[in-house]
Structure 1
Amino acid sequence: MSSENLSIQEHPDIAALRDRFDLTGSSATAQVVDGVTMMAGLYLAVSPWIVGFNTTASSLMVSNLIIGLTVALLALGFASAFGRTHGLAWTVPLMGVWAIVSPWLMNGVDTTGGMIASNVIVGAVIMLCGLGSSGFGTFFNPRR
């Protein structure tokens, strides 16, 4: 059967690309990065209760909860099916940047040192892990 008669999903190049991404996503490095990303997302989601600003900064609490759960779910998707979800990896660094700057951008939030330190540290971890996940398919060759 010639490749002219195949749908785009059945094209041999697409299948080879998916296999490469799946192999990349199953590497030990990718698994560690995905695990750290998921843990950082979960921490961001519960940080208002850990740091103690769940009653004093409700808008930041909601932002951290939503962004944290989203990051954790994306990391879970990357860990389980990187070949299918790698196209969303570019969003994780942006969410990390949001976590870093959100204490200053949210209305009605009187920030404390704990809030700022928590968001900046976990945001930087999320951003760096997201950049790593984004680069796996492009720069990482699991066959080397």
Structure 2
Amino acid sequence: MGTHRHGAMGLHPELAEMREWLERSGSTSNSAIAVEGLILLAGVYAAISPWVIHFAAQTPSLTASNLIVGITIALIGFALTLAPDRMLRVSWMIVPLGVWLIISPWVATAAHSARAGIIWSNVVVGALTVLLGLAAMGLTIGRSRHPDMRR
């Protein structure tokens, strides 16, 4: 009763695959985890910012833009946390989305209708998104140069 039997279940191919996946996901660096999490948070903030800054009613086109771009950024960040090996190549899309957040108050609305709070919110979250996208791209380059880091 006190002994643990390793029967056929210990040799099961799905169990071996699960162990390998857990080892790979557990060896992700802290900086990669931080970047992925911050990308997710930046996307969530961009999506909800029209209601946080209270401009959803005044600028419906900017509200729709922030919602769509924010959800897209958050989904990329979430995908990076779930499957970093497969999704790091998609991380290059974060930079242009951040640039769009920066310029969208002037493009998606009439220049006179965007208040300073709206502009500052989009510029700050856009700039952070660009920086996080560049950091994610740097992680991609590092992993592609060093195949042993893919785990």
Query: Which deviations, in whole Å up to 9, do the C-alpha atoms of 1:69-106 show, x marking residues without a partner?
Result: 00000001111111111121110011000000000011
Question: Mind listing any 5+ residue stretches in structure 1 that lack a counterpart?
Answer: 1-18
* Residue aligning to 1:131: 134
Q: Which runs of 5+ in 2 are unaligned?
A: 1-20
Q: TM-score, normalised by structure 1?
A: 0.78
TM superposition score normalised by structure 2: 0.75
Letter in 2 for 1:53: F
Aligned to 1:82: 84
Corresponding residue for residue 41 of structure 2: 39
Matched, 1:119 2:122: yes
Verify the 8 A CA contact 1:35 1:75 in the aligned structure 2. yes
Determine the C-alpha separation between the residues in 1 that align with 2:124 and 2:116. 12
Match for residue 91 of structure 1? Answer: 93
Q: 2:52 aligns with which of 45, 50, 54?
A: 50
Give the drift of 1:108.
Answer: 4.1
Decide which structure has the larger Cα Rg and report it. Answer: 2
How many residues were matched structurally? 123
Indicate the residue corresponding to 2:63 in structure 1.
61
Task: Indicate the SS of the match to 1:137.
Answer: helix
Question: Would you say the 8 A contact 1:26–1:79 is kept in 2?
Answer: no
* Bigger relative contact order (CA 8 A; separation at least 6): 1
